[in-house]
A and B are shown apart, each in its own frame.
Chain A
Amino acid sequence: MATLELSIDEQVIVAPIRKTRRLGLLFWAAIGWLTFVFAVAALANLLPMPDPTAMDMLERRQPPSMLHWLGTDGLGRDELARLIYGARISLTVGLCAPIIGITIGGALGMLAGYFRGRFETLVVGSMDVLLAFPPLILALAVTAYLGQSLPNLTLILGVLGIPAFMRVARATTLSLARREFVIAAQALGATHARILLRELLPNVFLPLFAFFLLGVAVTIVVEGALSFLGLGVPPPISSWGSMIGEGRESLEIAPRLAFIPATTMFLTVLSFNLVGDTLRALTDPRQGAL
């Protein structure tokens, strides 16, 4: 049993050491993986691969071979090709939805934190209503009524992210708006627009961007869950989530059909989380100078 720490005098005597956050090995590994995945997904058309939708009923659930590097799925389609094209879908939704969140939520948050007053109460109140809904339920309900399509999915996932981005932007703006450089700009007669765009936005952007990366991770997961249930991307489009859902049928015979896209999704989400978390620690405005 390890001894309990007794560090009273130790803290008094030892001088504080400056803790620099170095970007560690894991950080760069995450960046590397993300770059790899993005590159492969973007260049999918140029890669010499079989057509991901080409079915071959005689070659169903084949193990990896020279022809099919990752084998084939339940309908004889090439697993690797499906994985790469699935990456396109997952990443597209994963990026576009938070973009909606960061633009609308970020703008609302900055304006609310800057102008305060009734506008702020209105914004915060409506976000509270949105947050009052369990997010997955809301997404399911909307897609049930509106219909399943890629734009609908991206839209609802984007809207779900607005409150979170609004909070981050508002909190950052609130802590910055009282600082000297803003008061100085106001004293110099700058317009609101100028202050918002030139002074506040550059400082709000970094924490927002860190949060954006975390938002991408969450979106990939939520889209994955919905598609897994068959209620996300509409068939025949497939993302990692729907591949995992289909792979579930073959768990006994060919578990790799579920686990390969699962591992890819896990590594991608983990990488986004790692990078976002590191950036968030680095750009926390409370630790910043000025």
Chain B
Amino acid sequence: MVGFVVRRLLYLIPVLVAVSLLTFLIASLLPGDLAYVILGDQATPDKVAALRQDMGLDQPIWWRYLSWLGNVLQGDFGRSFRTGQTVLQAVAERLPVSIELMLLAQLGALAIGIPLAIACAVRSGSAFDRFMTGSAFSMLSVPAFLSAILLIYLFAVELRWLPATGYVPFSEDPVGNLRCFLLPALTLALGEWPVLMRVLRSDMIATLQEDYIAMARAKGLKPSRILLVHALKPSSLTLVTVTGINIGRLIGGTVIVESIFALPGIGRLLLGAIFTRDLIILQGVVLFVACGYVLMNFVVDMLYAVLDPRIRHGHA
């Protein structure tokens, strides 16, 4: 087991290096001069030349990459030239919001998906089951931004139950905070529940045909106990791993939702950096998010191996 973890950790390092390289290369795609962008309409040839020298922009590309990487490894991801905030400060401010959104979204997806999966597995083949499976399939064709405007229209415009945008920190007002997160989390949950539901449903249908379920019935146990204890537990393996994988995927999804619902998270920080051409922040945030994504996938891989011992030994 330890050998397995160490092997995967070693593999992680070149991936992280490659990700940093890719991030840097993308940033260097800029067909203009970064100094011009920074100075904007204050650019004069002298100022540009001075800034270029100051930032080391006149050095060869490999030097710039290594010095940038060196800074990053010491914790210096760069500093915004618009706000003066360092990348790490900006990220630290916004990260809790994004994490809260992702967790609530995943909880919502499970809250919708698990009961539906159980209900469909028990009535497998019925009209209800076919309808739900069809709905799950259709939901996969509804992207987050479509769900978002639909929900906004329904709840904020027509019914006026919930705010369309805005954010209140949890520490200030827990209820208000959750109200602000309700629609955004629901938007993401609507996109995630179909995958979870399908996976659990198919595992449960297989489990319900096992002898030990017949045995549980023969013992006269309550149907709820049979479903929730005897059937759900053995069927959950794939669900757990898919949930873990999804949390990593949600990182991309939050960008759109944070933008639409005006939540001050990482995604909005990224978009803001793009709109204001704050390219240092952009580069830093992209690196941060990409590394987080890689680490998240790594954790999921480890979790998967813990749950399924065959993976540890190189089988399956």
Contacts of B137 in A (CB 8 A): 273-274, 277
Cα distance A229–B261 in the bound complex, in angstroms: 12
Cα distance A241–B209 in the bound complex, in angstroms: 46
The answer on a CB contact under 8 Å between A132 and B294 is yes
The answer on a CB contact under 8 Å between B149 and A262 is yes
Cα distance A221–B191 in the bound complex, in angstroms: 12
Cα distance A262–B150 in the bound complex, in angstroms: 9
The answer on a CB contact under 8 Å between A269 and B141 is yes
The answer on a CB contact under 8 Å between B145 and A224 is yes
Residues of A in contact with B, size category:
35 or more
Name B129's closest neighbour in chain A (CB-CB).
A2
Contacts of A4 in B (CB 8 A): 122, 208, 213, 217, 223, 226
Contacts of B126 in A (CB 8 A): 2
The answer on a CB contact under 8 Å between B157 and A144 is no
Once A and B bind, how many residue pairs between them come within 8 Å at the CB atom? 134
Q: Distance (Å) between the CB of B241 and the closest chain A CB? A: 17
The answer on a CB contact under 8 Å between B140 and A134 is no
Interface residue? B293 (CB, 8 A): yes
Contacts of B122 in A (CB 8 A): 1-2, 4
Q: Which of A134, A265, A266 has the most CB of B within 10 A?
A: A134
Q: Which of B137, B141, B213 has the most CB of A within 10 A?
A: B141
The answer on a CB contact under 8 Å between B211 and A128 is no
Q: Which of B208, B252, B271, B290 has the most CB of A within 10 A?
A: B252
Contacts of B80 in A (CB 8 A): none
The answer on a CB contact under 8 Å between A129 and B19 is yes
Interface residue? A180 (CB, 8 A): no
Q: Which chain A residues in 122-143 approach chain B with CB under 8 Å?
A: 128-130, 132-138, 140-142
The answer on a CB contact under 8 Å between A231 and B145 is no
Contacts of B142 in A (CB 8 A): 266
Interface residue? B146 (CB, 8 A): yes
Interface residue? B259 (CB, 8 A): yes
Against B, the Cβ 8 Å flags (1 = close, 0 = not) of A237-257 are: 000010010011001100100
Q: Which chain B residues in 266-316 approach chain A with CB under 8 Å?
A: 270-271, 273-274, 279, 282, 286, 289-290, 293-294, 297
Interface residue? B199 (CB, 8 A): no
The answer on a CB contact under 8 Å between B153 and A255 is yes
The answer on a CB contact under 8 Å between B22 and A129 is yes
Interface residue? A260 (CB, 8 A): no
The answer on a CB contact under 8 Å between B145 and A225 is yes
CB within 8 A of B293: which of A132, A140, A146, A273? Answer: A132
Against A, the Cβ 8 Å flags (1 = close, 0 = not) of B127-140 are: 00000000001101
Q: Which of B31, B146, B251 has the most CB of A within 10 A?
A: B146
Q: Which chain A residues in 1-25 approach chain B with CB under 8 Å?
A: 1-2, 4-8
Name A229's closest neighbour in chain B (CB-CB).
B259
Q: Distance (Å) between the CB of A133 and the closest chain B CB? A: 5
The answer on a CB contact under 8 Å between B138 and A270 is yes
The answer on a CB contact under 8 Å between A217 and B208 is no
Cα distance A270–B139 in the bound complex, in angstroms: 9
Interface residue? B124 (CB, 8 A): yes
Cα distance A147–B314 in the bound complex, in angstroms: 45
Cα distance A244–B143 in the bound complex, in angstroms: 12
Contacts of A221 in B (CB 8 A): 141, 143
The answer on a CB contact under 8 Å between A252 and B15 is no
Interface residue? A228 (CB, 8 A): yes
Contacts of B31 in A (CB 8 A): 146-147
Q: Which of A8, A147, A225, A266 has the most CB of B within 10 A?
A: A225
The answer on a CB contact under 8 Å between A140 and B146 is no
Q: Distance (Å) between the CB of B150 and the closest chain A CB? A: 8
Cα distance A4–B231 in the bound complex, in angstroms: 11
Known A4-B213, A140-B271; contact A133-B290, beta-carbon cutoff 8 A: yes
Q: Which chain A residues in 248-288 approach chain B with CB under 8 Å?
A: 248, 251-252, 255, 258-259, 262, 265-266, 269-270, 273-274, 277
CB within 8 A of B211: which of A8, A137, A217, A265? Answer: A8
The answer on a CB contact under 8 Å between A129 and B18 is yes
The answer on a CB contact under 8 Å between B209 and A5 is yes
Q: Distance (Å) between the CB of B161 and the closest chain A CB? A: 15
Q: Distance (Å) between the CB of A188 and the closest chain B CB? A: 36
The answer on a CB contact under 8 Å between A145 and B27 is yes
Interface residue? B50 (CB, 8 A): no
Interface residues of B (CB under 8 A from A): 15, 18-19, 22-23, 26-31, 122-124, 126, 137-138, 140-146, 149-150, 152-153, 157, 208-209, 211, 213-214, 217, 223, 226, 249, 251-253, 255-256, 259-260, 270-271, 273-274, 279, 282, 286, 289-290, 293-294, 297
* A-B pairs with lowest CB-CB distance, top 6: A136-B252, A270-B141, A134-B252, A129-B18, A145-B29, A221-B143
